Amino acid sequence: MRVICLLILFCSLSSYGQKFHVVVGLAKPPYVIQDTNSGYEIELITQVLNKMGKEPNFVFVPFGRTARMLNSDRVDSIMTVNSNLISNENLLSDTYIIYQNVVVTLKRNNYQLDNLDDLSKLSVAAFQNANKILGESYAQAIEKSPSYREIANQKSQTKLLFTGKVQAVVMDINIFRALSHAVGGKEDFSDIDIHYVFPESPYKMAFKDKSNIESFNQALAQYKGSEHHTQLVNKYNLKR
């Protein structure tokens, strides 16, 4: 009996120490801060996976490539996906984060954007996979845009707005707030207009092994109901 107990303990400890490879898009503060392996999203997923007895190893790639990497033998899961990116919903967890994408323009241009059709008149820089994630109405609007591009580096995307290379950028409001001052924006955001023309974008985890999903969902619910999660939200000053 003692031998059996020791064997079970050894297997449990071995499982905990095994790296769990998680694909994540390139740096997008305050959610993902690549240089320090930190940010709200990174830290949340770390805590949840630790509750499952898994030690995450984050693999950073351009966001446009993340969904395809679930086919890799070296990948266990992918962050920040939805059913538009991973068609097999049986591989998806519960929602763990919600982004609020917006259109940002320079205040001096006084653009009025009441709906997505108005976006078709402007040159636009968006995040990678925006044409898939933001719905059919957005995809139709940007087809008519005089200039449209999707950028892997969201700091570069933001810089295009302040240097006048594009008339509008499409990105999450918290990412824009984190990056704008570093590329020429004012700290009080008095130089920009924020247009809320998108619904919220819920994101999930995708798992290669479906047996991980239920335990992830349970650990996620426990963590989100804890004071530690409240502290994490406050740490990164997330806003909608």
pLDDT of the residue at 18: 75
CA torsion, ordered 22, 26, 30, 31, to nearest 10 deg: -30
CB 59 within 8 A of CB 21: yes
Measured from the Cβ of residue 136, the count of other Cβ atoms closer than 10 Å reads 9
- pLDDT digit string, tens, across residues 141-182: 999 999 999 999 999 999 999 999 999 999 999 999 999 999
CATH of the domain at 60: 3.40.190.10
Q: Domain ends where: 163, 180, 195?
A: 195
The pTM score is 0.88
Mapped onto helix, strand or coil, the DSSP state of residue 102 is strand
Q: What is the mean pLDDT of residues 220-226?
A: 97
Give domain status of residue 38, yes or no: yes
pLDDT of the residue at 121: 94
For residues 60 and 84, membership in a common domain is answered with yes
pLDDT of the residue at 239: 78
The two three-digit tokens of residue 215, written as one number = 């335990």
For residues 130 and 94, membership in a common domain is answered with no
How many domains is the chain partitioned into structurally? 2
Helical pair 211-224 and 227-235, crossing angle rounded to 10 deg: 80
For residues 110 and 155, membership in a common domain is answered with yes
The pLDDT of residue 66 is above 60: yes
Mapped onto helix, strand or coil, the DSSP state of residue 27 is coil
- pLDDT digit string, tens, across residues 81-116: 999 999 999 999 999 999 999 999 999 999 999 999
For residues 118 and 231, membership in a common domain is answered with no
CB 91 within 8 A of CB 57: no
Domain range holding 31?
A: 2-99+201-235
Mapped onto helix, strand or coil, the DSSP state of residue 135 is coil
For residues 7 and 55, membership in a common domain is answered with yes
Query: Residue 178: exposed, middle, or buried by beta-carbon count in 10 A (0-12, 13-18, 19+)?
Result: buried
Percent of the chain with pLDDT over 90: 86
pLDDT band at 216 (very low <50, low <70, confident <90, very high): very high
pLDDT of the residue at 148: 98
Alpha-carbon span 15 to 54, nearest angstrom? 7
For residues 13 and 66, membership in a common domain is answered with yes
Give domain status of residue 240, yes or no: no
Average pLDDT over the chain, rounded to whole? Answer: 91
The two three-digit tokens of residue 174, written as one number = 């918290």
For residues 57 and 83, membership in a common domain is answered with yes
